[in-house]
């Protein structure tokens, strides 16, 4: 068979935090108008007081960055879209361990959303994000600074969601963006590569952190960093999971209690892939193991894809070479509390 893929169908939150006069960091939904282009996007109102320094502009970030450089301090960057959970915090902890200073960016990036996707309704809770980031680690350290730019700062000429209407500079990582997630979300990795480039140009961190949860994103970003000669080192942090194995995701908030429980079958399927692989290196057999486990809880049609790919090239494999290993990745459309479906993605390394 030529194709082995399946395409069918502290909480030590600074006590100070609670004592401070009330401030409102809640995100607002905002419409950006620039040169005739319009895009709904998340915006954050100005905070009055915050337990963490919040920077809004590239100029502020560059000035902060210069200070760190002058003091000889290393900087780690953790790019996020907010609605932070323990998975994001694991990236933050990695950065805090490895760097003198850690910056977390919170920016819901319009260009990676198709017009049909959930940009307007993407979960946002800026107050809760700041509260989590203000929590100190075991060594009494906390995140140094948050970069929460407005859309105009990142896209000064506007950003229409329809790709055909987008003008200006965008970054595409050819050959790694079209398969897997890229097949379902054709503009996704162009949007990701573009915003990551902007962030790396603004922050110039020594290290930048991404989660294995979005494994194709890590492959795309590593290649972007190599090909465009960025000086930052990309670190990939293992996936954080619920007790039942479900990979933590901001979009899990869309699930019902029942589907959240049922979604445990996704990781069970991936674990079964590893068991099968120990006996059999055929991608077909590995995929069968995943599909048969997931279909104990979900319809076959809800599985968008299960694929076995090379870890660097993302080439689809028929057989896994034991010395090279592979990625098993999938997307499942899980019924949500709005009567629709939420796409969950996950993966495991062989």
Q: Which residues bind ligand AMP (CB under 6 A)?
A: 80-81, 87-88, 90-91, 210-211, 213-214, 237, 239-240, 247-250
Query: Which residue out of 30, 34, 85, 88 is catalytically annotated?
Result: 88
At its nearest, how many Å lie between ligand AMP and the CB of residue 343? 13
Nearer to ligand AMP, 177 or 281 (CB): 177
| Cβ count within 10 A of residue 338 | 10
Interacting residues of 112 by C-beta distance below 8 A, sequence separation 6+: 185, 187, 188, 189, 190, 191, 192, 195
Nearer to ligand AMP, 183 or 235 (CB): 235
At its nearest, how many Å lie between ligand AMP and the CB of residue 51? 21
At its nearest, how many Å lie between ligand AMP and the CB of residue 59? 24
Interacting residues of 84 by C-beta distance below 8 A, sequence separation 6+: 106, 128, 129, 132, 133
Q: Is the dihedral of CA 58, 59, 60, 63 positive or negative?
A: positive
Query: b/e per residue, 91-106, with b = 16+ CB within 10 A?
Result: bbbbbbeebebbbbbb
Burial class, 327, CB count within 10 angstroms (exposed 0-12 / middle 13-18 / buried 19+) = buried
User: Is 88 one of the annotated active-site residues of the chain?
Assistant: yes
Integer-rounded Cα Rg, in Å, for the chain is 21
Give residue number: closest CB to ligand AMP.
Answer: 211
DSSP run (H or E) holding 201: helix 188-203
Nearer to ligand AMP, 39 or 199 (CB): 199
At its nearest, how many Å lie between ligand AMP and the CB of residue 25? 17
At its nearest, how many Å lie between ligand AMP and the CB of residue 98? 15
Nearer to ligand AMP, 4 or 210 (CB): 210
Nearer to ligand AMP, 39 or 247 (CB): 247
Which residues are the active-site residues?
88
């Amino acid at each position: 068979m030529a194709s082995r893929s399946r395409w069918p169908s502290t909480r030590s939150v600074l006590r100070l935090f609670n004592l401070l006069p009330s401030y409102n960091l809640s995100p607002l939904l905002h419409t950006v108008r620039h040169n005739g282009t319009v895009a709904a996007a998340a915006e954050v109102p100005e905070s009055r007081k915050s337990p963490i320094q919040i920077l809004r502009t590239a100029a502020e970030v560059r000035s902060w960055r210069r200070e760190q450089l002058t003091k000889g301090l290393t900087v780690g960057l953790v790019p996020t879209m907010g609605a932070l959970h323990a998975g994001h915090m694991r990236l933050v902890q990695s950065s805090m361990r490895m760097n003198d200073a850690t910056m977390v960016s919170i920016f819901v990036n319009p260009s990676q959303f198709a017009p049909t996707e959930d940009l307007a309704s993407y979960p946002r809770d800026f107050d809760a994000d700041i509260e989590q980031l203000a929590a100190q680690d075991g060594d009494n350290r906390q995140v140094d600074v948050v970069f929460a730019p407005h859309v105009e700062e990142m896209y000064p000429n506007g950003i229409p969601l329809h790709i055909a209407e987008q003008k200006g500079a965008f970054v595409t990582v050819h050959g790694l963006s079209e398969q897997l997630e890229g097949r379902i979300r054709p503009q996704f990795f162009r949007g990701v590569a573009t915003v990551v480039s902007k962030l790396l140009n603004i922050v110039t961190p020594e290290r930048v952190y991404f989660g294995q949860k979005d494994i194709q994103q890590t492959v795309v970003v590593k290649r972007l960093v190599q090909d465009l000669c960025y000086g930052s080192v990309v670190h990939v942090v293992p996936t954080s999971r619920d007790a039942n194995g479900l990979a933590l995701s901001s979009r899990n908030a869309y699930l019902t209690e029942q589907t959240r429980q049922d979604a445990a079958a996704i990781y069970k399927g991936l674990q079964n892939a590893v068991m099968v692989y120990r006996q059999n290196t055929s991608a077909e057999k590995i995929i069968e193991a995943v599909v048969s486990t997931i279909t104990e809880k979900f319809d076959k049609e809800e599985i968008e894809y299960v694929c076995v790919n090379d870890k660097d090239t993302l080439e689809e494999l028929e057989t896994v070479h034991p010395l090279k290993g592979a990625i098993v990745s999938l997307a499942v459309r899980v019924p949500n509390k709005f009567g629709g479906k939420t796409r969950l993605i996950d993966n495991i390394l062989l």
